[in-house]
């Protein structure tokens, strides 16, 4: 299929390429309505489709957004297995497409930069989730394109960001357990990295403890990787050891599901023997046995808002730095995995 160029259109319509370019880009005010009609007709008949590569070369706009999500360390595959990221991506893509943008979805080798990609592709902007080493963000800044960080506590006014109040979330979860009479509460979590979301949730956990006059016991924190498998392992430990633990706060639903299974592996029941509360409210949380009590955040909405912000930043050149970080709401979803114990009042 031979490519139809803007020149073909201009010839067919009997006008200049500039005129065609004008009507194609909505600057119809600069051209007579008669010319507009002729051009539209020619475009239609020739089935003209503009070449974004050429366009990008001419004006440095690609209508392309880079979306980065974390990947598994071993197999270098996207972390889409975690439904949380899937939903995020769904939201982003839908919103972007609605405005005529496309999304390049990729992971990034750890330690490697994203500068190459952004420059090669003339990206109009990027949405970054996950947490990377500092040099990664420095690179990003050099490119001078709008960037939205999701779930990042990088404190740099260059970046716009959307997230949740993770500290509050951790507090809410732990408080809920405490309100139900639990005093020996485990924390099951992925690696607690500086400025990461789990660190904040961890902080919230400690705050709730302290507020209730409970001691923080380091032996009660099970920290490893954000996987079902590790959650299960932790669950086994919690259920088997001669510990007084009666409840666990898992910093992600994926892990919470594992914890519940681990508890069962040891012949004990959730919530009869061990109560469990998760974080995220991924779709399986609703359908697990028992249905998981959790802190809900709306991942799809998060993705949509991130895209929204990015698009608006792309529109308003250089004025985009003025954004306040966007903090999305949280909600406690009380299902069946937490048991009220003791005789404590509400």
- Name, in order, each residue with C-beta under 8 angstroms of 170's C-beta and a sequence gap of 6 or more: 200, 201, 202, 203, 204, 205, 207, 208, 249, 251, 279
DSSP state for residue 71 in the 8-state scheme: B
- Using CB distances below 5 to 8 A depending on partner kind, what does residue 315 bind out of its own copies, DNA, none? none
- The answer to whether 94 contacts its own copies (rule: CB under 8 A) is yes
For its own copies, the binding residue among 102, 207, 335, 336 (CB under 8 A) is 102
Both tokens assigned to 325: 């970080």
| From 128-136, 191-199, 280-288, 337-345, span contacting its own copies (CB under 8 A) | 280-288
- The answer to whether 152 contacts DNA (rule: CB under 7 A) is no
Q: What is the DSSP string of 260-273?
A: HHHHHHTT--TTTT
**Least separation in angstroms between CB 23 and DNA:** 9
- The C-alpha atoms of residue 13 and residue 87 are separated, in whole angstroms, by 46
**Least separation in angstroms between CB 41 and DNA:** 14
**Least separation in angstroms between CB 291 and its own copies:** 10
- Using CB distances below 5 to 8 A depending on partner kind, what does residue 35 bind out of DNA, its own copies, none? DNA
Q: Which SS3 state, helix, strand or coil, does residue 150 take?
A: strand
Question: Of the candidates 131, 128, 91, which has an alpha carbon nearest to the alpha carbon of residue 106?
Answer: 128
- The answer to whether 144 contacts DNA (rule: CB under 7 A) is no
- The C-alpha atoms of residue 151 and residue 252 are separated, in whole angstroms, by 14
Q: What is the pattern of x (binds DNA, CB under 7 A) and - over residues 35-64?
A: x------------xxxx--xx-xxx-----
Q: Using CB under 7 A as the criterion, which residues of the chain lie in contact with DNA when the complex forms?
A: 3, 5-7, 14-19, 21-22, 24-25, 29-32, 34-35, 48-51, 54-55, 57-59
């Amino acid at each position: 299929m031979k490519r139809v160029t803007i020149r073909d259109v201009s010839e067919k319509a009997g006008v200049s390429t500039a005129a065609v370019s004008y009507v194609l880009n909505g600057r119809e005010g600069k051209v007579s309505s008669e010319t507009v009609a002729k051009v539209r007709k020619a475009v239609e008949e020739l089935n003209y489709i503009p070449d974004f590569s050429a366009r990008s070369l001419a004006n440095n706009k690609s209508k392309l957004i880079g979306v980065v999500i974390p990947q598994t360390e071993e197999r270098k595959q996207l972390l889409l297995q975690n439904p949380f990221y899937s939903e995020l991506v769904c939201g982003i893509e839908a919103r972007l497409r609605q405005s005529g943008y496309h999304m390049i979805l990729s992971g990034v080798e750890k330690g490697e930069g994203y500068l190459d990609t952004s420059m090669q592709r003339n990206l109009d902007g990027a949405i970054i989730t996950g947490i990377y080493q500092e040099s990664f963000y420095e690179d990003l800044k050099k490119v001078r394109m709008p960037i939205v960080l999701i779930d990042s506590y990088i404190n740099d006014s260059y970046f716009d960001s959307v997230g949740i109040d993770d500290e509050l979330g951790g507090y809410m979860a732990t408080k809920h357990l405490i309100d139900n009479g639990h005093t020996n509460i485990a924390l099951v979590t992925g690696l607690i990295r500086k400025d990461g979301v789990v660190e904040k949730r961890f902080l919230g956990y400690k705050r709730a403890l302290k507020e209730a006059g409970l001691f923080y016991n380091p032996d009660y924190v099970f920290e490893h990787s954000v996987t079902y498998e590790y959650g299960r392992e932790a669950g086994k430990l919690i259920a088997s050891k001669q510990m007084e633990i009666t409840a666990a706060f898992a910093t992600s639903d994926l892990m919470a599901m594992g914890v519940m299974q681990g508890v069962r592996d040891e012949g004990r029941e959730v919530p009869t023997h061990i109560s469990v509360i998760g974080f995220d409210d991924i779709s399986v949380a609703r359908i697990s046995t028992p249905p998981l009590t959790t802190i809900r955040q709306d991942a799809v909405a998060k993705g949509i808002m991130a895209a929204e912000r990015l698009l608006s930043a792309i529109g308003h050149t250089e004025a985009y730095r003025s954004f306040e970080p966007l903090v999305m709401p949280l909600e406690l979803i009380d299902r069946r995995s937490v048991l009220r114990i003791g005789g404590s009042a509400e």
